[in-house]
Amino acid sequence: MAYHPSHQRITGNPWALQYPVRVLTVDRATKVAKITALVTLAVHDSVLKNGPCKLRGESKNHALVVIEDLKVRNMSRSASGTVEAPGKCVRAKSSLNKSILDQGWYEFRRQLAYKLAWLGGTLLAIPPQYTSQKCSRCGCVDKKNRPSQARCKCTACGFECNADYNAALNILAAGHAVSACGAGRV
C-alpha cells in the first residue's frame, strides 16, 4: 500500500495516519465540485428531455402559457441574520435553499420561453403577489383564506379547494387579463 508523501504517522501504529488539512480540503472541494457539476448536468438534461421540449406536440393546443414570476434569488436568501439579530431555523432554510436551487426553475423557464417563441406561442409571467391568498371564485383577498399550507377556504363566499389549484386559477385569470387587454403587463 502506497502512502502520499505528506502523510505522517502520529503514533507507533502504522495505520494511524494524520492527513494534512489542505490535502483533505482540496480533495473534498474537488469531489463537491464534480458532484455539483453532475447535478447541474442532470437538471439540464431533465429539463431538455421532460420539460418544454415535449411542448412541440402540445403547442397547437397551448398558444398561451402563464407562469408565476417567482424571484428565486429572494426565495433562496440566507436566514443566518446578523450578530445582533441571529437567524432562526438556519439549517432548515439552508436545506430548503439547496432544494430550490437544484430544481433548475430558471432553465425550465428559459427553455419554455424559447420553445414557445419558436412555435409561435406566448409566455406570460404574472407577479406572484396574492395569488395564493385571493379567492378564485369571488376575488376576495385575505390572509385567512389560507387556513393551512394545502387548503384554501374563502372567508367571504365559503369556496374551498386545494391551495395550489386556487393559485393556478388566479394565475391563469391574471394571464388572460394581460393577454386580452394588457392589464398589468409585466
pLDDT for the residue numbered 82: 63
User: For position 53, what pLDDT does the model report?
Assistant: 55
Q: What was the pLDDT predicted at 5?
A: 46
Rg (CA), the chain: 25
pLDDT in tens, 150-170: 999 999 999 999 999 999 999
CA distances from 106 to 16, 68, 72, 73, 156 (A): 48, 12, 8, 11, 36
pLDDT, tens digit, 9 for 90 and up, residues 89-122 = 777 777 777 777 777 778 788 888 888 888 888 8
Q: pLDDT value at position 8?
A: 45
Rounded Cα gap, residues 179 and 123, in angstroms? 10
pLDDT of amino acid 24: 46
Identify the pLDDT of residue 186. 47
Distance CA 27, CA 7 (A): 14
Between 48-62, 90-104, 168-182, the lowest mean confidence (pLDDT) is in 48-62
Residue 10 has a pLDDT of 46
Residue 22 has pLDDT above 60, yes or no: no
Delimit the domains of the chain by residue range: 18-61+71-121, 127-186
pLDDT score for 171: 92
Handedness of CA 35, 90, 149, 126 (dihedral sign): negative
- For residue 156, what pLDDT is reported? 92
What is the per-residue pLDDT for 160? 92
> Which range (3-17, 23-37, 109-123, 160-174) has the least confidence?
3-17
Give residue 73's pLDDT.
76
